Amino acid sequence: MINTVIFDFDGTIINTNSLIEEGLNHFSYMHRGYHFTKEEMLELTGKPLETQMAAIDKQLSKLLVEQFKVWYSNHHNQKTSAFPGMIELLRFLRRLNLNLAIVTNNSRPSLEMGLKHLGIEDVFHITLSRDEVSATKPEPDGLIKVLNKFEVHPHDAIFIGDTDNDILAAKAAGIKSVMVAWSILDENSIKALSPDHILHESPQLLELLAQSIVAA
């Protein structure tokens, strides 16, 4: 029986896809004179900011990281919003007294900015950013840390994400994996990852949870 629901944040709860793509292309054009290809953008999706900036200029990557953070903060609120139905879903899950957590590869300041922007700072019991784990996804460290904090077994949890890193991390932690269909990955790429479930719209998660109760 699932009693713990863990979410990725960017691209899963909050739609930062166009913001991140615009930012990466802005810095790429400024420093390389051209934008990322679609394939390059997919490869960088979900990767730590340091990796993304190193793809633009390895020597200047540290400086670019700091510059990107400023650009991101200045554009965040006007260019991001929750995916349809997600806020209502999260608040309903909270009323069900489930254990709720976030594990993201984004930084603590970026995560808190997003939570505040969506008005859901009070929803999650645990939020883990890249700053609180020894290794980011696809390593399972963050997910295992959440399991330990809640004192639950992997089969009692489910992890919802939008990238290959999320699915790989869930599998490594022994947790049921859910891929959102609003990922920037195409349908074939999603299926190739073999997630346990594919979520086509937010309310479907309630159906999955209900099935777990029946199965138990």
Print pLDDT tens along the chain (216 aa).
Answer: 899 999 999 999 999 999 999 999 999 999 999 999 999 998 898 788 999 999 999 999 999 999 999 999 999 999 999 999 999 999 999 999 999 999 999 999 999 999 999 999 999 999 999 999 999 999 999 999 999 999 999 999 999 999 999 999 999 999 999 999 999 999 999 999 999 999 999 999 999 898 875 444
One domain, residues 91 and 174: yes
C-alpha–C-alpha distance, residues 143 and 169, integer Å: 8
The answer to whether 24 and 52 are in contact (CB under 8 A) is: yes
Number of domains the chain contains: 2
Residues of 65-80 as b/e, b for ≥16 C-beta within 10 angstroms?
beebeeebeeebeeeb
CB 32: neighbour CB atoms within 10 A? 12
Last residue of a domain, one of 59, 79, 99: 79
Domain that holds residue 33: 17-79
Q: Dig out the tokens for 48 from the structure.
A: 């730590």
Which residue among 60, 79, 98 closes a domain? 79
115 and 90 share one domain:
yes
63 and 35: one domain?
yes
Q: Do 66 and 38 fall into the same domain? A: yes
Distance between CA atoms of residues 114 and 79, nearest Å: 11
Q: Are residues 59 and 105 in the same domain?
A: no
pTM check: above 0.95: no
